[in-house]
Every structure is written in structure tokens, then in C-alpha cells.
Amino acid sequence: MRPPICDFCDRDGRDHPSLEFGLVSFRNRELLEQPSHPKGLLWFCQDHLARASELSHLDSHRALQRMREEGG
Ligand SMILES: [Zn+2]
């Protein structure tokens, strides 16, 4: 499994031990190939986890694009 690095802001859980991280599964989970990582799950830090979860019905790239448009 990949270490916790937020897919939106790229903060690394190993550098920010006080941050909470969580995994979100997106619509295109079948298509996301990540060696030794559960399929389709992306890490998000506590600041972006809630919004990512709300957008989990989208493909992951669409969800990330939407979040960037919203300014995080
Ligand atoms: Zn983040």
C-alpha cells in the first residue's frame, strides 16, 4: 500500500504526523492500477477528505479537477 500522500495537495503523512488521512474509492476504481495498493483508492488529508468523499461518484480525475476549480 502506498504511504499516505494527499492526492490533492501532495502533503505527505510522514512529514505531517499530526494530519489524519483517509482513503476514498472513486467511480473508476476498476481502471486505476496502482501496484501493491488497493484498487481505486486514493489518499486524502483531513482537509480534503470530506470533499473527495462527496465527489466519489465521479472518476478520480474529474473529482480532482472539480476540487481544483473550487480552489481546494
Ligand atoms: Zn490534502
**31 C-alpha to center of ligand 1: Å?**
23
Cα separation, 5 vs 48, whole angstroms: 12
SS3 29: coil
Domain ranges of the chain: 1-72
Q: What is the pLDDT of residues 2-50, one digit of tens each?
A: 789 999 999 999 999 999 999 999 987 766 566 666 667 899 999 999 9
Q: Which whole-number Å values give the CA distances from 8 to 15, 18, 21, 23, 27, in the listed order?
A: 16, 18, 12, 12, 17
**27 C-alpha to center of ligand 1: Å?**
20
Under a CB-based contact definition with an 8 Å cutoff, are residues 57 and 27 in contact?
Answer: yes
pLDDT for position 23 = 95
Cα separation, 72 vs 32, whole angstroms: 23
Please give the model's pTM, rounded to 2 decimal places.
Answer: 0.84
